[in-house]
Amino acid sequence: MIVEKAEKVLKAHSLCDHCLGRLFARLGRSTNEERGKAIRFVLNMERSAKGLEPIEEAEKCELCGNVFERIPELIELMKKVSKGIEFDTFLVGSRFSKEIKEREKALWEEFGIDTGEPINREFNRELGKAFGLATGKDTSKTPDVVFIVEPYSGKIELQINPLYIYGRYRKLVRGIPQTPLPELEESVASIICRPFSRAAGGKCVFKGAGREDVDVRMLGNGRPFILEIKGPKKRKLDLGAIAKEINASGKVEVLDLRFVTTKEAEEVLTKNHRKEYLALVLVEDGVTPEEAREVAGELRGLEIHQRTPWRVRKARADKVRVKRIHEAEARWIDEKHFELRLITDGGLYIKELISGDKGRTKPSVSDLLGKPAWCERLDVLNILDE
């Protein structure tokens, strides 16, 4: 039946072996070209037995226009467009005209073909195999680069997929924002991104797992972050050397740098972390060691209802967030100061927890003391992953 159907097709249409074999692509294991050659060979043997002329491969295929013969030329163009780009894995995509796709669809409908494969799928596979053999590169479902080929015009678009790098940062000084602000010269993001952009030859985008205020240090095990490097020319980066350069700033340190997948990057940025803080609390009306200890005891395990702080109301949705304080310890300093070490749910605003933010945070340290209290200094000690 295959040979009979092939004969009917070839009497009506001049096809190359690729396009003939592709009509029966879901039958057996082989390349479409080999399948087409085999079908044509058997068909012509039967025609010869009947005294009929063979149906040879078309000089110019009326379906594809012999586009598969252009593969060696296209490989050279792909090499040219990717020159200077470092990559190990790739994928090939192609753009065929609507006219060719409709012509193929009409042929399938004309002869009741239900075992065929679209031309672009075969072309992508064959060009990908040939390019891999020519360059030693491998195809991948998560490639470093993607070639989008227009087979007839020879136009090739190169999509360079981003690099994702995980790390943790410590901010050792106050007065530096996490991301750039117009009035400040540098930020955690700029200090970290500069050497990465230079090494990779791409645009670096910094994404932190939460943030701390400009006047707050980030100490301890550091805050997790993800770097997305768009359009990198180099992918094999010396993360140790880059970390050394960043750490030499004396302002920001990076730890645990490693390459991650897109999925891993998303998990880092969406995970909710508990945080450990150390706050220096100022009580102008005076505070005793006993009062400091009592406040810590009352905070331990307490559920806090916190409306979006007044100072960030324009940048955050105005709603009440419910957060819990898991641990609290106090150390009395002097008549007006005590230190408060806290472990809380992520997203709890500590400055407002202490001041009460004019009643927007309840209960607050001010409420528990029965007198105004303020956060004079704040450090994030640790970001707790578990």
Binding-site residue set for substrate: 277, 349
Catalytic residue among 114, 138, 213, 318: 213
CB 323 within 8 A of CB 344: yes
> Nearest CA to 300 among 363, 252, 210?
363
Q: Give CA–CA dist 37/16, Å, rounded.
A: 9
To the query of whether residue 213 is one of the catalytic residues in this protein, the response is: yes
Binding residues: 277, 349
Q: How far apart are CA 134 and CA 141, in angstroms?
A: 20
Dihedral through CA 208, CA 210, CA 212, CA 218, nearest 10? -70
| Sign, Cα dihedral of 211, 215, 216, 222 | positive
What span, in angstroms and rounded, lies between the C-alpha atoms of 131 and 288?
76
- In terms of C-beta density within 10 A (0-12 exposed, 13-18 middle, 19 or more buried), how is residue 278 classed? buried
CA distance 352 to 174: 19
Question: Catalytic residue positions?
Answer: 213
